[in-house]
């Protein structure tokens, strides 16, 4: 991924950190029971930010907003800027959940 997303990265990483704290509270709840783990993927701000941006590009491609074969990073950046904070937060939480699930799977894959 190129540096086109640098203008929003700092703000998004701060939001990722805040949402991680909120998401982290679900790990300690008595009804947790989910297969999630706070591993390296879950704690990697850059990887979470990159996944968030890639998810926006993939969604735009699926919705048919294509320019040639792929949506340009510039179009994705504009789409992110237009998103509500609630939508951005939900997408970040989805990425955090995916990363925690992946961390769990790779930690315990020998058990499967």
Task: Please give the structure tokens belonging to residue 78.
Answer: 């504009």
Q: Which domain holds residue 15?
A: 7-26+36-111
Q: What is the pLDDT of residues 55-87, one digit of tens each?
A: 998 888 887 755 544 567 888 899 999 999 999
- Average pLDDT score, the chain: 85
Is the pLDDT at 41 greater than 80? The verdict is yes
What's the domain count of the chain?
1
Residue 31 lies in a domain: no
Q: Looking at the domain assignment, is residue 71 inside a domain?
A: yes
CA triplet 90, 18, 57: central angle to 5 degrees?
40
Q: State yes or no: pLDDT of 9 exceeds 90.
A: yes
Between 80 and 26, name the one with better pLDDT.
80
């Amino acid at each position: 991924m190129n540096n086109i997303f640098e203008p929003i990265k700092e703000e998004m990483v701060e939001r990722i950190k805040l949402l991680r704290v909120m998401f982290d509270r679900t790990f300690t709840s008595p009804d947790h029971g989910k297969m999630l783990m706070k591993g390296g993927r879950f704690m990697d701000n850059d990887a979470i930010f990159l996944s968030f941006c890639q998810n926006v590009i993939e969604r735009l491609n699926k919705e048919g907003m294509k320019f040639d074969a792929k949506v340009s990073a510039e179009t994705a950046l504009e789409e992110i800027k237009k998103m509500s904070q609630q939508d951005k937060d939900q997408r970040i939480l989805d990425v955090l959940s995916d990363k925690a699930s992946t961390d769990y799977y790779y930690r315990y894959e020998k058990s499967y």
